[in-house]
């Protein structure tokens, strides 16, 4: 079990406080007692190189971490109630769509677009 002790300052909503303080971090959470379990599938870059197969074997360039499956994630109950094919944004993570295997009793979401482009950083690095 993890316990988090914090304070909430409604004056800092939006990132700036009336007294001039600048908020560095905003925490988003889902209420565990009302949340619904879901499986989250994070699809990452399929290849480890921008030019897969250039060395002769395209299969050698497949990213073994191209799919991460998060079991037991918690989502808002409204996502189970909606049960639509509509894309949703998970705060600070990316955009997700329900998997065709998803049902109202077994939610599965696939990441379609992440919010950070780490591939561009790798190429520039």
Q: What is the CATH number of the domain that holds 90?
A: 2.40.240.10
Which residue matches tokens 């009793």? 105
Whether 9 is in a domain gets the answer no
* Percent share of the chain, pLDDT over 70: 86
Whether 23 is in a domain gets the answer no
Whether 4 is in a domain gets the answer no
Q: Which domain holds residue 85?
A: 30-124
Work out the average pLDDT over 38-49.
92
Whether 66 is in a domain gets the answer yes
Whether 80 is in a domain gets the answer yes
What is the model's pTM? 0.69
Work out the average pLDDT over 34-63.
91
Phi, psi of 58 (to 5 degrees): -60, -35
Whether 55 is in a domain gets the answer yes
Q: How many domains does the chain have?
A: 1
The H or E element containing residue 71 is strand 67-75
Whether 45 is in a domain gets the answer yes
Whether 3 is in a domain gets the answer no
pLDDT, residue 1, reads 75
For the chain, what's the residue count?
125
């Amino acid at each position: 079990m993890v316990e988090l002790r914090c304070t909430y300052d409604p004056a800092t909503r939006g990132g700036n406080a009336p007294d001039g303080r600048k908020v560095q971090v905003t925490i988003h959470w889902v209420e565990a007692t009302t949340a619904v379990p879901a499986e989250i599938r994070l699809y990452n870059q399929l290849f480890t190189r921008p030019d897969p197969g250039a060395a002769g074997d395209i299969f050698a360039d497949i990213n073994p971490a191209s799919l991460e499956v998060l079991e037991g994630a918690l989502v808002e109950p409204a996502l189970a109630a909606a049960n639509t094919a509509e894309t949703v944004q998970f705060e600070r993570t990316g955009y997700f769509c329900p998997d065709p295997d998803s049902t109202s009793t077994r939610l599965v979401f696939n990441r379609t677009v992440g919010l950070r482009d780490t591939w561009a950083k790798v190429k520039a690095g």
